[in-house]
A and B are shown apart, each in its own frame.
Chain A
Amino acid sequence: MSATAETVQDRKAALKGLGTSRKRVEDARFTQGKGNYVDDIKLPDMLFGDFVRSQHAHARVISIDTSAAMALPGVVAVLTAADLEPLNLHWMPTLAGDKQMVLADGKVLFQGQEVAFVIAEDRYIAADAVDLVQVKYEELPVLVDPFKAELPDAPILREDIADAKEGAHGARRHPNHIFTWEQGDKPGTEAILSEAPVVAEEMVYYHRTHPCPMETCGSVASMDKVNGKLTLWGTFQAPHVVRTVASLLSGIAEHNIRVVSPDIGGGFGNKVGVYPGYVCSIVASIVTGKPVKWVEDRMENLSSTAFARDYWMNGKIAATEDGKILGLWCHTTADHGAFDACADPTKYPAGFMNICTGSYDIPTAYLAVDGIYTNKAPGGVAYRCSFRVTEAAYFIERMIEVLAIKLNMDAAELRAKNFIRKEQFPYQSALGWEYDSGDYHTAWNKALEAVGYKELREEQAKQVEEFKAGNTRKLMGIGLCHFTEIVGAGPVKNCDILGMGMFDSCEIRIHPTGSALARLGTISQGQGHATTFAQILATEIGISADDITIEEGDTDTAPYGLGTYGSRSTPVAGAATAMAGRKIRAKAQMIAAYLLEVHDNDIEWEVDRFVVKGAPERFKTMKEIAFASYTQAIPGVEPGLEAVSYYDPPNMTYPFGAYICVMDIDVDTGVSDVRKFYALDDCGTRINPMIIEGQVHGGLTEALAIAMGQEIAYDELGNIKTGTLMDFFIPTSWETPNYQTDFTETPSPHHPIGAKGVGESPNVGGVPAFSNAINDAFRAFGLTHTHMPHDHWRVWKTANKLGLHG
């Protein structure tokens, strides 16, 4: 018999490994204001850069006069496209295979575009000098509506590629057209649509919004002309990719570039791409020989760095009369703004939008996405979601509701009728994915039961009667959502960014005294990696999470990785961590066997030690093994205890969840109130339940923001109307409802520890749940669909159009 059950339990608990609600180790510094962000970096002789930006959405740049700015004491230089051109840096490649102006080259294409870069001794002088740069523009007609982009009188935006018939993603049919991406079976789907007994159709718009992280984007570049080394600190969600791109662009050898992501105050996709500010700070440092800092302000962040969504999704869904779905058709018009700067894997210009069959067994489907240029800021990033997954989830979860209305059927029942069944996994979807695992019916029934769904519907029906009788002005909406995500990009065979395969990595060093350092290719922006990755490792190698330091973000020390976005850190780098841990354990096993003078196969792993089979009193702890690896000569075994793993995931992971929102809506003021929000998440193996809950709360609050008011809106001249936090909705604690969280646990069969990723689920599932609640409230009065965001006036307008104001 081995050690008593109780001691094994105790030792397990002491590791604080998988499944422990371990407190976040990051929070001690964050809650004391002791984090170290880009803007905290202060170097001797550091200069500051600031942009002159276009006030026009579309204009030709006639001239730029920098003389008055240069005359201001303290101004060091003013860069324009003409200065960057000899270096071939006036344009830069985007992650989507397009190129983007670093500084206006002859014309501007969106309001807020970078026109000139002022470099001065402090940021106050730089701001004053920005006002002194005189730019002469000739205004051009503005294109804001993507549906007008290909009309005969549409202005041509991208004159640089006006004649290019081929883009990065195939044929282009018009100068304002970027790509068409098609997936699935077009004739098959069309045939089903023409024959099916029931077809529901709807245009579902997921409006333009913005990740708006608390910390805006910025960088500090420092070119050391003596040793030829460039150090670049910045708000980078993918520091290694930035290093490679910086090397390719600047011609500086990659070993001479060090990229550091310090603490990052939220990313949500906004910090994946490369921005003109990064390039300009590098050039400015090379030109001046001094460190140069650039940090954008909130309005610059909202108006010029990457937006999210802006998908017009026209859907058709076919079904039998009793609600069995037969086919799904979707045509999306994607407004990409002035440059295609999406941050998707290369082969996926519309990201994983082809997950739009959702949680349902839909035999036949077709998806086409048209990317269009408009006079708006570039972007199209995955705002707290895997690439375009939130768009896909919103689309299918709205289409299900629309179909339920057409069928006059309960939307919960319609979902249950069409879920992919447990025994169908691994499931091959009509649009090309292999879903790894799931048990949707169990999750769904648990959710319906937890909220008392039947009683809620009865209450709602009563309230409609009361409303009709004139006894109340409030309606009740029940928002249902069952989402399936696709995260953890991704297998190198089909996922890359700028050619770099989307593997990730972990390198572990066990110190002689039995504590450890692990470095990863990812970078936390608030997810708590330093906490959770240590937990994965603790369970793998039997060293307490408290004795493991996790380091990320410095390309000189961390192994190459593709960074953190798309919920990929746990599925990919988390897997690399487990695999590297297993390599450590394999070597430790040889050492332990030697120390215990038995054969390798005669010992077995138990929590934190190797134990001789059948002789529990004979064991070596990982701590003892580590010490021996540095202090003893062990025949046939190299000294030291280190391992590195590069993990190429065999498949994506498919987290899912069942969310239900109950909302009370005042028909006269348009004010809505979330009465209840229940969120069941299945993210496979749960590493840290407390962090999961925190991620769910945060993601749901962002979902609330998006669904209920947050938008980037432009007027017809391309002026941004929501460029400050007065109008761009960020909920405070007052607007944030209570959330009730729950879970089921269906491990991923191909992930080393069965984990699937959770950080983005609440945004993906939350938005449809909130939006469906609003839509559902008006179902009894004939509403099929109304667009987000559901702010007061739009809800009022919906009620008004339905004649509810008498």
Chain B
Amino acid sequence: MITGNFEYHQPSSVPEALALLSDLGDEARVIAGGHSLIPTMKLRLAMPEHLIDLQGIKELKNIDVSNGEVRIGAMTTQAELIGSDELFQAAPIIRETALQIADPQVRYMGTIGGNVANGDPGNDMPAVMQCLDATFLLQGPDGERSVAAREFYEAAYFTARDELEILTEIRFSACEGGYSYGKQKRKIGDYATAAAAVLLTKGADGSCTAASIALTNLADTPLYCADASSHLQSNGVSEDSIASAVASAMEQIEPVDDNRGPAEFKKHAAAIILTSTIRQAWARA
């Protein structure tokens, strides 16, 4: 449980960090809170020769809500997400989710940027970002570009981010209506057996004016459930439409057997979790 040898770098600006990444090449990795990266380094599954620590870059640590738009700096910790009332007003699902990630110790260190950049299907924030239709800002040697969260994840640990890029900011529109993040896990500190993020907006007439559903740890990437979302939006929210939406979402999932249980169990649990999460989001809408 001791990492391999590495050189440690602490740049104080994004350009400086990008220059280090370019210079040091393949053997360099950025480190944010370290709570996904360091465990893999201790197991020597990852043995980067250079760690570029983003902790010293102040501009990456901020939460800004203005004109209905939310911007979160990549180095904002999960504890800071939980603590921000402004963010809670704009997107309460973030606090609800962050509170279900690990334990307070991990949340004091772990960052939102690391959580979404990591590419681990077990991370909770990626599905929430897809649910919110967030955009990730990436800065690289060739400048800045943005990628939609719904387009970002390719496979486990493979994302649209180029190795020489840094994820600097997350942007999404402040949301209204009902929200819920439901997660089944074995214990505090565990990744999801199955989890679901749901946003629903109720019109004055009781109709569903907007719906968005995404799932965590039920495939090798987070899953945005476009069909299930539009089904609720077109048919309104009733026990029947929930059942059809869930059935449609279940067609997308491909859980694998692991210590949390066999795939057949996860499929069953996922449907239960998604059903109750939709119900709760609707009750709050």
Q: Which residues of A contact B (CB under 8 A)?
A: 123-124, 127-128, 131, 297-299, 668-671, 709, 713, 721-722, 725-727, 729, 731-732, 734-735, 791-794, 796-797, 800, 805
Q: Which residues of A contact B259 (CB under 8 A)?
A: 713, 721-722, 727
In Å, the complex CA distance between A123 and B190 comes to 30
Q: Is the interface of A mostly helix, strand, loop or mixed?
A: loop
8 Å CB interface, B95-123 against A: 103
Question: B132-140, B164-172, B265-273: which one contacts chain A?
Answer: B265-273
Known interface pairs A298-B1, A729-B186; A668-B268 also in contact (CB < 8 Å): yes
Q: Which residues of A contact B269 (CB under 8 A)?
A: 668-670, 792, 796
29 contacts between A and B (CB under 8 A): A123-B2, A124-B2, A124-B5, A127-B2, A128-B4, A297-B1, A298-B1, A669-B273, A670-B261, A670-B269, A709-B186, A709-B187, A713-B259, A722-B259, A726-B189, A727-B259, A731-B187, A732-B189, A734-B187, A734-B188, A791-B261, A792-B260, A792-B261, A793-B260, A794-B261, A796-B261, A796-B265, A796-B269, A797-B265
Known interface pairs A670-B269, A793-B261, A796-B265; A735-B187 also in contact (CB < 8 Å): yes
Is the CB–CB distance between B5 and A128 below 8 Å? Answer: yes
In Å, the complex CA distance between A249 and B261 comes to 46
Write the chain A residue with the least CB distance to B265. A793
Q: Which residues of B contact A298 (CB under 8 A)?
A: 1
Q: How far is the CB of B108 from chain A (nearest CB, A)?
A: 16
Is the CB–CB distance between B268 and A796 below 8 Å? Answer: yes
In Å, the complex CA distance between A595 and B186 comes to 69
Could you say which interface size class chain B belongs to?
A: 20 to 34
Q: How far is the CB of A431 from chain B (nearest CB, A)?
A: 37
In Å, the complex CA distance between A729 and B186 comes to 8
Q: Which residues of B contact A796 (CB under 8 A)?
A: 261, 265, 268-269
In Å, the complex CA distance between A797 and B260 comes to 12
Is the CB–CB distance between B268 and A732 below 8 Å? Answer: no
Is the CB–CB distance between B184 and A669 below 8 Å? Answer: yes
Known interface pairs A793-B262, A796-B268; A735-B188 also in contact (CB < 8 Å): yes
**Is B145 part of the binding interface, using a Cβ–Cβ cutoff of 8 Å?**
no
Is the CB–CB distance between A729 and B4 below 8 Å? Answer: no
Q: How far is the CB of B273 from chain A (nearest CB, A)?
A: 7
Task: Point out which of A734, A791, A793 has the most chain B C-beta atoms below 10 A from its C-beta.
Answer: A793
Q: Which residues of A contact B188 (CB under 8 A)?
A: 732, 734-735
Q: How far is the CB of A799 from chain B (nearest CB, A)?
A: 10
Write the chain B residue with the least CB distance to A298. B1
Q: Which residues of A contact B284 (CB under 8 A)?
A: none
Q: Which residues of B contact A670 (CB under 8 A)?
A: 261, 265, 269
Is the CB–CB distance between A791 and B4 below 8 Å? Answer: no
Q: How far is the CB of B138 from chain A (nearest CB, A)?
A: 30
Q: Which residues of A contact B190 (CB under 8 A)?
A: 726
In Å, the complex CA distance between A722 and B273 comes to 25
Pick the residue among A124, A299, A727, A805 that contacts B268 (CB under 8 A): A805
Write the chain B residue with the least CB distance to A725. B189
**Is B193 part of the binding interface, using a Cβ–Cβ cutoff of 8 Å?**
yes
In Å, the complex CA distance between A794 and B189 comes to 20
Write the chain B residue with the least CB distance to A733. B188
In Å, the complex CA distance between A175 and B203 comes to 75
Q: Which residues of B contact A671 (CB under 8 A)?
A: 184
Is the CB–CB distance between B265 and A791 below 8 Å? Answer: no
In Å, the complex CA distance between A792 and B260 comes to 8
**Is B44 part of the binding interface, using a Cβ–Cβ cutoff of 8 Å?**
yes
Encode contact with A along B252-265: 1 for CB under 8 Å, 0 otherwise.
00000001111001
In Å, the complex CA distance between A731 and B188 comes to 8
8 Å CB interface, B25-80 against A: 44
Q: Which residues of A contact B189 (CB under 8 A)?
A: 725-726, 732
8 Å CB interface, B169-189 against A: 184, 186-189
Further 5 A-B residue pairs, CB within 8 A, beyond A124-B5, A297-B1, A722-B259? A128-B4, A669-B269, A729-B187, A732-B187, A792-B260
Known interface pairs A668-B268, A796-B269; A791-B186 also in contact (CB < 8 Å): yes
Task: Point out which of A299, A670, A731 has the most chain B C-beta atoms below 10 A from its C-beta.
Answer: A670
Q: Which 5 A-B pairs have the closest CB atoms?
A: A793-B261, A127-B2, A297-B1, A793-B265, A732-B188
Write the chain B residue with the least CB distance to A722. B259
In Å, the complex CA distance between A805 and B2 comes to 46
Write the chain B residue with the least CB distance to A731. B187
Q: Which residues of A contact B268 (CB under 8 A)?
A: 668, 796, 800, 805
Q: How far is the CB of A734 from chain B (nearest CB, A)?
A: 5
Q: How far is the CB of A141 from chain B (nearest CB, A)?
A: 24
Q: How far is the CB of B212 from chain A (nearest CB, A)?
A: 24
Is the CB–CB distance between A732 and B103 below 8 Å? Answer: yes
In Å, the complex CA distance between A805 and B261 comes to 17
In Å, the complex CA distance between A735 and B103 comes to 13
Q: How far is the CB of B26 from chain A (nearest CB, A)?
A: 20
Q: Which residues of B contact A729 (CB under 8 A)?
A: 186-187
Q: How far is the CB of A606 from chain B (nearest CB, A)?
A: 54
Q: Which residues of B contact A669 (CB under 8 A)?
A: 184, 269, 272-273
Is the CB–CB distance between B44 and A131 below 8 Å? Answer: yes
Task: Point out which of A669, A732, A800 has the most chain B C-beta atoms below 10 A from its C-beta.
Answer: A669
Is the CB–CB distance between B186 and A792 below 8 Å? Answer: yes
Encode contact with A along B177-220: 1 for CB under 8 Å, 0 otherwise.
00000001011111101000000000000000000000000000
In Å, the complex CA distance between A726 and B273 comes to 22
In Å, the complex CA distance between A671 and B182 comes to 14
Q: How far is the CB of A524 from chain B (nearest CB, A)?
A: 27
8 Å CB interface, B1-35 against A: 1-2, 4-5
Pick the residue among B1, B187, B191, B272 that contacts A299 (CB under 8 A): B1
Q: Which residues of A contact B260 (CB under 8 A)?
A: 792-793
In Å, the complex CA distance between A734 and B190 comes to 12
Q: How far is the CB of A252 from chain B (nearest CB, A)?
A: 32
Q: Which residues of A contact B2 (CB under 8 A)?
A: 123-124, 127
Q: Which residues of B contact A735 (CB under 8 A)?
A: 187-188
Q: How far is the CB of B214 from chain A (nearest CB, A)?
A: 20
Q: How far is the CB of B133 from chain A (nearest CB, A)?
A: 29
Q: Which residues of B contact A297 (CB under 8 A)?
A: 1
Q: How far is the CB of A296 from chain B (nearest CB, A)?
A: 9
In Å, the complex CA distance between A793 and B272 comes to 14
Q: How far is the CB of A234 from chain B (nearest CB, A)?
A: 20
Q: How far is the CB of A578 from chain B (nearest CB, A)?
A: 43
Q: How far is the CB of B131 from chain A (nearest CB, A)?
A: 21
Pick the residue among B1, B103, B262, B272 that contacts A668 (CB under 8 A): B272
Q: How far is the CB of B99 from chain A (nearest CB, A)?
A: 12
Q: Which residues of B contact A800 (CB under 8 A)?
A: 268
Known interface pairs A128-B4, A298-B1, A797-B265; A792-B187 also in contact (CB < 8 Å): no
In Å, the complex CA distance between A721 and B261 comes to 12
Write the chain A residue with the least CB distance to B47. A131
In Å, the complex CA distance between A322 and B219 comes to 55
In Å, the complex CA distance between A121 and B181 comes to 50
Q: Which residues of A contact B1 (CB under 8 A)?
A: 297-299
Q: Which residues of B contact A722 (CB under 8 A)?
A: 259
Q: Which residues of B contact A791 (CB under 8 A)?
A: 186, 261
Q: Which residues of A contact B187 (CB under 8 A)?
A: 709, 729, 731-732, 734-735
In Å, the complex CA distance between A796 and B262 comes to 11
Write the chain B residue with the least CB distance to A668. B272
In Å, the complex CA distance between A722 and B187 comes to 15
Q: Which residues of B contact A805 (CB under 8 A)?
A: 268
In Å, the complex CA distance between A568 and B272 comes to 49
In Å, the complex CA distance between A731 and B186 comes to 10
In Å, the complex CA distance between A694 and B71 comes to 48
Q: How far is the CB of B281 from chain A (nearest CB, A)?
A: 18
In Å, the complex CA distance between A722 and B262 comes to 15
In Å, the complex CA distance between A297 and B103 comes to 22
Q: How far is the CB of A251 from chain B (nearest CB, A)?
A: 34
Q: How far is the CB of A363 from chain B (nearest CB, A)?
A: 44
Q: Which residues of B contact A128 (CB under 8 A)?
A: 4-5
Q: Which residues of A contact B265 (CB under 8 A)?
A: 670, 792-793, 796-797
Q: Which residues of A contact B5 (CB under 8 A)?
A: 124, 128
In Å, the complex CA distance between A732 and B190 comes to 11
